[in-house]
Structure 1
Amino acid sequence: MRLRNKPGAADEIKAHPHIVIPNPKEMRGKWASFFRNQNPIHIEVGTGKGRFVSEMAKAHPDINYIGVELQTSVIVMALEKVKQANVPNLCLLNEDVENLLDFFEEKELERVYINFTDPWPKNRHEKRRLTYRGFLDKYHVLIGDGGEIHLKTDNEGLFEYSLNSFSGYGCRLKNITFDLHNSSFEGNIMTEYEEKFSSQGLKIFRCEAILPQK
Structure 2
Amino acid sequence: MRLRNKPWARPLIEANPQFITTDPKKYRSEWQKRFKKIAPLFVEIGTGKGQFIIEMAQKHPERNFIGIELQTSVAAVVLKKQLELKLDNLQLICANGSGVSEYFEDGEVAVIYLNFSDPWPKKKQAKRRLTYPTFLEQYKNVLEKKGHLEFKTDNRGLFEYSLKSMNNFGMIFDKISLNLHQSDEAEDNVMTEYEEKFSQRGQVIYKLEAHF
TM-score range, shorter chain: over 0.9
Once the two structures are superposed, the pairs formed by residues 73-112 of structure 1 within 5 Å of their partners are: 73-112=73-112
Say how many residue pairs are matched.
Answer: 211
TM-score by length of structure 2 reads 0.95
Code of the residue aligned with 1:158 in structure 2: it is L
Aligned counterpart, 1:48: 48
Counterpart of 1:153 in structure 2 is: 153
Question: 1:72-96 deviations in whole A, cap 9, x for unaligned?
Answer: 1111111122223331000100000
Asked whether the equivalents of residues 2 and 71 of structure 2 are also in contact (C-alpha less than 8 Å), the reply is no
Question: 1:50 touches 1:82 (CA, 8 Å); kept in 2?
Answer: no
Distance of 1:69 and 1:96 partners within structure 2: 7
**Residue 188 of structure 2: aligned partner:** 187
Structure 1 residue aligned with 2:164 = 164
Q: For structure 1, which segment, 140-149 or 66-75, has the greater mean C-alpha deviation from structure 2 after superposition?
A: 140-149
**Inter-partner Cα distance in structure 2 for 1:194 and 1:52:** 10
Q: Which runs of 4+ in 1 moved over 4 A?
A: none
Match of 1:130 in 2: 130
Shift of 1:184: 1.0
Structure 2: state its 5+ residue gaps: none
Question: Is contact 2:19-2:92 (8 Å) kept?
Answer: yes
**Higher percent of residues as strand:** 2
Distance 1:68 1:90 in 2: 11
Is 1:16 aligned with 2:3? Answer: no
Shift of 1:175: 2.2
Q: Which position in structure 2 is the counterpart of 1:72?
A: 72
> For the residues of structure 2 that align with 1:59 and 1:86, how far apart are their CA atoms?
14
Structure 1: stretches of 5+ with no match in the other structure: none
Aligned residues: CA RMSD: 1.4
User: Contact 2:36–2:88 at 8 Å: present in 1 too?
Assistant: no
Cα deviation code 1:142-168 (max 9, x no counterpart): 004332100000000001111111111
